[in-house]
Structure 1
Amino acid sequence: MTVLMAAALAALCPAEAGVLDEAASAFEAHYVLQDRAPEIAKAIREDAARLPRAEDCQAPARFADQATAYLREVSSDKHVMLEAARDVTDATESEEGGSWIEDWYAAAPSANYGVAAVEILDGNIGYLKLTSFYDLPETWARYGAAFTLLQDTQALILDLRGNGGGSPEAELRVHWTFLEPAATPPLVMDRGADGLEERPVPDIGWPSYGGGRPVYILTSHRTFSAAEAVAYGLQAAGRAEVVGEVTGGGAHMVGDALALTGGFSLYMPEERPISPHTGANWEGLGVQPDIAVDASEALDTALDELASLLAATTTD
């Protein structure tokens, strides 16, 4: 345990120590990288055993935040999260509050269901900025409007800068919008003991952009999870060029929340995507851009690249 984490979890009450012990067991039973699960569980138990026991427990939300940071550090997995049960007697909490997932869905309308901008730029270049991947009917309606508007552009820029991810269903539909129906799946799922499994090709419900026209994807350090899946999958398939910064490096996919003692919930990655083209994914490494530039320069850089590419195509 690092000095920072030791300070954060300087003393545990017995109930908190019990939560960490259950988290260790959850890693052994459910974690996607079963070859690493025993060593992670062992480290959690040893660290918890070394800490002194406090008479009183911390506030559950504060402990959950500190334990999340610790579990992410010990597992090197940014998708692990411990969440405390909401206390509706606390004046700072809404009686209608729920889990972080419920909060995220509640924010969908104010985020226009993840569709931040749709434009046709000079030179008939399409531009689409997606800030999050919701799997809601309102999302599909907005995707439908966006891709209908963009269907006759001669190239497209998909802006995923700052997109923290979201639903695999939305990621899958965006993926297949830029592929031909007979294309090799951009990603398959590694389900551990159950082996590799292909996901069915979705009925996207809006005009396909197809597999021929140029596509550039913009990324930042804050591009994460499902947004990284789109960038990595289309890049590995040779379908898109990635412009911007190395992304956050979270490829693992979280399963259903695991209930722990004291009302805590643990979100644990239980499967991971693999590219058939590379045999790998972006976990811990991030998506490496084809053209590395500061995120603030990514759009202008992609437009310059497209201008040169389209001019050369016209000349040919």
Structure 2
Amino acid sequence: MAEGERQAPPDSSEETPPATQSFIIPKKEIHTVPDMGKWKRSQAYADYIGFILTLNEGVKGKKLTFEYKVSEAIEKLVALLNTLDRWIDETPPMDQPSRFGNKAFRTWYARLDQEAENLVATVVPTHLAAAVPEVAVYLKESVGNSTRIDYGTGHEAAFAAFLCCLCKIGVLRVDDQIAIVFKVFNRYLEVMRKLQKTYRMEPAGSQGVWGLDDFQFLPFIWGSSQLIDTVPGEVPRDPALQVREPAAHPPRLTVLGGLSSQSRSRSSQFRCLRLPPQLWSPPTPSLCSFCLVRGCLLGWVVGASRGGLRA
């Protein structure tokens, strides 16, 4: 991965929230299936989808070796994730009879729960300190559930919301788009895989054979955008992946294998993300899925107080 050249953080005064704005601790706003209609019409939904689409365009046709700028904010986010990684090493798994859900994860999570605001404060400038408690909630939600000791696409969505918040308050800027995916999100995936393996975390709401992956979804969105206009055969093979007969693969991968271009693949994945799940059901790990969205936490930056869940 390209380290890129360092870039001085631009002045964020034009994009920061008003000084008089009171940030709020995010909470659940989607309680029933009828709330889904309000969710799809909300500013929070539009903000989140817009964020995903913007980053998707930013990495279109670009390899991980593409030269990109690395701002101070990006470096601080990577340092934050490195801290989470180090905490895993300092919290070894416990000897226990159960195969899944090592209870040492709860010790690791308790440390994050206590230190999350301090970690976020290292990324957010002092004039935006009031936003730290709100933004820190999304960071804590992005690493899995400490009660069930599981992790799923809803936790991944929380990390995307965490990054979206940082963009909306002006910590991350337009020039950071590529680095957000290639450097920050990629490092996040590495840490999450380490968490999953170290503490034997179970998938939160596994899709089974219908799922592209039990834990992640966004890599398929942004990864397919990277593959647009690539020459067939350029995609590297990961020896960690088992080679099976086509019929043994998930139906979604079988469908994707028959598409004539990555552009069509990406279009299908966005239908999965945004629209009713005719192609991808049952069920679907999308923002139109009540089972996933009911766990979303909404605050002021991304949420109900600014044109949020109103009928």
TM-score by length of 1: 0.25
Higher helix share: 2
Bigger radius of gyration, 1 or 2?
Answer: 1
TM-score by length of 2: 0.25
